Amino acid sequence: MITADLRGKAALVTGGASGIGLATVEQLARAGARVALNHLVIDPRGPEQARRLREEGLEAVAVAGEAEAMVRRAIGELGRLDFLVNNAGTAATDRPIPPAELDRLDEAFWKTILETNLLGAFRCAHAAARALREAGGAVVNIASVAGLGRQGSSIAYGASKAALIELTRGLARALAPEVRVNAVAPGHVDSPWTANWPPAWKEEAAQKALLKRRCQPEDIAEAIFWLLAGARMVTGQVLVVDGGLMLG
């Protein structure tokens, strides 16, 4: 695990109640940062996880909601903002939609995915820009290998992640030189999103990767941590963390 002393730093992680988001919250908090764990209003896991971390002596607060108002609340709770992780996302389906099944990709489906995966990330970065500039901070957007040409859960999902990668480059230009902006592109991750996949699908995903296993949330969190706490000359880049899936 990559380590650094982040005492005095503050971070906001969207979609932080489970999976990659929660693993990132934990790693940042254990390094000494004060962390705002963002979650859906209807999701009780956010307050529960923040309370658990506080009971362990770590500094974590739960902030519900989306985008601008949520970012303002988080900055108010933390007093500053050094790091933003745009992890909140959705596939809007619990099973992959084959590319040929275009009729399943209606306007409502596209809107759900783009609002969350693309516009949500922009809104959070925009709302946090001033605080991040003041802190000389960093942003990490969670993309996907589906945004780099690998087939994902749907055409719409892949398109949203490809757009998020381009947004990452645009924000890197817009927020320079004070703020670095990068993206992490996970492969298949063993997370709540894929918990209900048939075992055969999970095994197939593992076997397609060169390292013969699926990523764990902690694997992705480690890459996020490095891009936030280190990588001082890295901006506008996409770090693929997929165990060699793109090469398999």
Looking at the annotation, which residues are catalytic? Answer: 157
Entry field: residues in the chain: 248
Helix (H, G, I), strand (E, B) or coil at 147: helix
- Determine the straight-line distance between the first and last CA of the chain, rounded to whole angstroms: 25
Q: Which residues of 159-174 are buried (b: 16+ CB within 10 A; e: fewer)?
A: bbbbbbbebbbebbee
Structure tokens at 107: 């306007």
* Amino acid (1-letter code) at residue 34: R
**Which has the closest alpha carbon to 6: 203, 192, 206, 226?**
226
Q: How far is Cα of residue 128 from the mean position of the Cα atoms in its chain? A: 16
Which burial class, exposed, middle or buried, applies to 137 when counting CB atoms under 10 A from its CB (0-12, 13-18, 19+)?
buried
